[in-house]
């Protein structure tokens, strides 16, 4: 597949400008760049999810110009989206063959045996660790994503594109999906993928196509690339100083939060934890291992069933999330579009959701709202045409900054972060890390739950590891940490 001179704009925003790229059978091409670079747009153009404004695409030197995603699929091109797209009310076999169920009906009656056999053959082709007889609700996220891959393969494609398909998977789930992609390459399919996890791209790709601000920077063999050079190409600046900012050598303050014997429905054991002013306490572990349950307990999202919490020395027993916000605890959720922002609201409205002045339920001071929003846009470097633009039109990294800005606009004393850079590119990550470090250095107490071990090691002043709903290990402040040592306590 050859794409030449691809351009695409959305309103006044140029998403792609004269971009060219190739994908050959039996190779994996990584599309790399910051949020807003045009990676996902290029995949969607090639899969006919959106129509290009200019340029041409050929397959085997023949014109390829589908007018719908269905036409693209008929031409042998399939796209696996970032969002999970499995119907939990259907069986695994029905989900795999979703676009072909009519092929298994005779006089309106579904041939379940033939349907299962066809779906199982596809699952076997990619080495799935489950069968069509397993319940859909028994699958983990990585297995659900495998079902989506199998559905794409049911179309008998020659090219399969993956758009941030590992974004919400844990370490093991993502590894299994990469194994599936490697198997597809061995079978001769052409693969293009987008991921903000650079380690994944170095592990699986043959070539890297780098985009910046909708334009092509260049195409490079993965074997001749290193992470520092790739990062510089993506962000357009020298990153030799490292991804993570150094902390100021200031003393950690008094305890901000003290939890003793705390239990909730989601915890398997009592929680004892202290978070001090001026520190970043990192909590590492696999998804569902307990870190998110700690955030939920401290934020008031999951009521306490036992134990006690003291906030700045005073008793604190939240029953609802608003109790935490009212006491100066701001929470950045793990799902920015589901919980962090209202995508149909403007940037202004989202940045002031937690703080907008109201009188009798009506927003009373729009000038103050605008000033607060402008402060967060400037402080966080949010790239938006206007604070009046719809938040859903922002790139993932800028949307994440809006969620963080909403938290900071409340001027909290404690900040709870649930995977603060999930689905965010390396440039935006660096900017978010600098903000978090500055907040801690200025005395804020920061608790960060993350499944990213680089992030955990690079940003935390102190590290706790969770496993099976409880704390499995506490590392001493300033300890020299390695991924291997942390993983030992995660598994």
The packing angle between helices 141-153 and 171-186, to 10°, is: 20
The mean pLDDT of 399-403, rounded to a whole number, is: 88
- Contact at 8 Å (CB) between 467 and 291? no
List, in sequence order, every residue forming a beta bridge with 332; answer none if it has no partner: 417
237 secondary structure, DSSP code: S
Which spans in 300-341 are helix H? 321-326
Q: What is the rounded radius of gyration, in angstroms, for the C-alpha atoms of the chain?
A: 24
Is the pLDDT at 350 greater than 80, yes or no?
Answer: yes
Is the pLDDT at 122 greater than 80, yes or no?
Answer: yes
Looking at every residue in the chain, the average pLDDT score rounds to 87
pLDDT at residue 360 in the model: 45
- Contact at 8 Å (CB) between 126 and 180? yes
Shortest CA distance to 26 belongs to which of 213, 212, 159, 221? 159
Model confidence, pTM: 0.67
Domains of the chain by start residue, with CATH: 2-235 (3.40.50.300), 255-490 (3.40.50.300)
**Lookup: tokens for 59:** 């397959």
pLDDT at residue 257 in the model: 95
390 secondary structure, DSSP code: B
* Burial environment of residue 11 by CB neighbours within 10 A (0 to 12, 13 to 18, 19 or more): exposed
Which range among 229-238, 292-301, 359-368, 377-386 shows the weakest confidence by mean pLDDT?
359-368
- Residue-wise pLDDT tens digits, 407-431: 988 899 999 999 888 777 777 788 8
Sheet holding 13-22: strands in order across?
A: 13-22, 2-10, 54-59, 62-63
129 or 42: which leads in pLDDT: 42
How, if at all, do strands 159-163 and 190-194 pair? parallel
Give the pLDDT band of residue 364 (cuts 50, 70, 90): low
What's the rounded Cα separation, in Å, for the pair 22 and 42? 12
Sheet holding 159-163: strands in order across?
A: 77-80, 159-163, 190-194, 28-32, 207-212, 215-221
The mean pLDDT of 144-151, rounded to a whole number, is: 89
pLDDT at residue 118 in the model: 93
- Residue-wise pLDDT tens digits, 245-302: 876 655 578 999 999 999 888 887 788 999 999 999 999 988 778 889 999 999 999 8
């Amino acid at each position: 597949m050859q794409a030449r001179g691809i351009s695409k704009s959305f309103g006044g925003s140029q998403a792609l400008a004269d971009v060219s790229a190739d994908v050959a059978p039996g190779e994996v091409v990584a599309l790399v760049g910051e949020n807003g670079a045009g990676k996902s747009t290029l995949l969607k153009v090639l899969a006919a999810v959106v129509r290009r404004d200019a340029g041409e695409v050929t397959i085997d030197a023949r014109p390829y110009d589908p007018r719908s995603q269905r036409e693209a699929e008929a031409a042998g091109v399939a796209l696996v989206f970032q969002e999970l797209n499995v119907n939990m009310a259907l069986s695994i076999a029905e989900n795999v063959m979703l676009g072909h169920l009519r092929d298994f009906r005779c006089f309106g009656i579904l041939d379940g045996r033939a349907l299962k056999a066809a779906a199982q053959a596809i699952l076997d082709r990619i080495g799935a660790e489950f069968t069509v007889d397993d319940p859909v609700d028994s699958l983990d996220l990585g297995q659900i994503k495998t079902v989506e891959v199998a559905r794409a393969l049911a179309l008998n494609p020659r090219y399969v594109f993956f758009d941030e398909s590992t974004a919400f998977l844990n370490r093991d789930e993502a590894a299994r999906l990469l194994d599936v992609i490697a198997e597809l390459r061995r079978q001769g399919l052409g693969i293009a993928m987008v991921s903000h996890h650079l380690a994944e791209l170095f592990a699986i790709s043959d070539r890297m196509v780098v985009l910046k601000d909708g334009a092509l920077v260049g195409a490079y063999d993965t074997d001749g690339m290193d992470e520092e050079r790739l990062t510089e190409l993506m962000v357009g600046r020298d990153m030799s100083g490292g991804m993570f900012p150094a902390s100021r050598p200031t003393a950690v303050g008094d305890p901000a939060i003290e939890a003793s014997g705390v239990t909730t429905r989601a915890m398997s054991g009592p929680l004892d934890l202290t978070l001090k002013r001026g520190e970043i306490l990192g909590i590492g572990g696999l998804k569902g291992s307990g870190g998110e349950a700690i955030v939920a307990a401290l934020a008031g999202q999951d009521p306490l069933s036992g134990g006690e919490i003291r906030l700045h020395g005073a008793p604190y027993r939240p029953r609802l999330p608003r109790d935490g916000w009212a006491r100066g605890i701001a929470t950045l959720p793990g799902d920015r579009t589901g919980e962090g922002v209202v995508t149909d609201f403007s940037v202004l409205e989202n940045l002031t959701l937690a703080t907008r002045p109201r009188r009798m339920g009506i927003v009373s001071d729009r000038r103050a709202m605008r000033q607060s929003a402008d402060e967060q846009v400037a402080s966080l470097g949010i790239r938006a045409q206007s604070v009046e633009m719809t938040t859903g039109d922002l790139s993932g990294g800028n949307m994440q900054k809006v969620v963080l800005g909403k938290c900071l606009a409340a001027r909290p004393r404690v900040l709870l972060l649930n995977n603060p850079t999930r689905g965010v590119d390396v440039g935006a990550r660096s900017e978010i890390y600098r903000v978090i470090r500055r907040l801690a250095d200025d005395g804020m107490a920061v608790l960060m739950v993350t499944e990213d071990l680089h992030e955990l090691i690079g940003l935390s002043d102190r590290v706790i590891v969770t496993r099976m709903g409880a704390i499995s290990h506490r590392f001493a402040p300033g300890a020299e940490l390695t991924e291997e040592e942390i993983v030992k306590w995660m598994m």
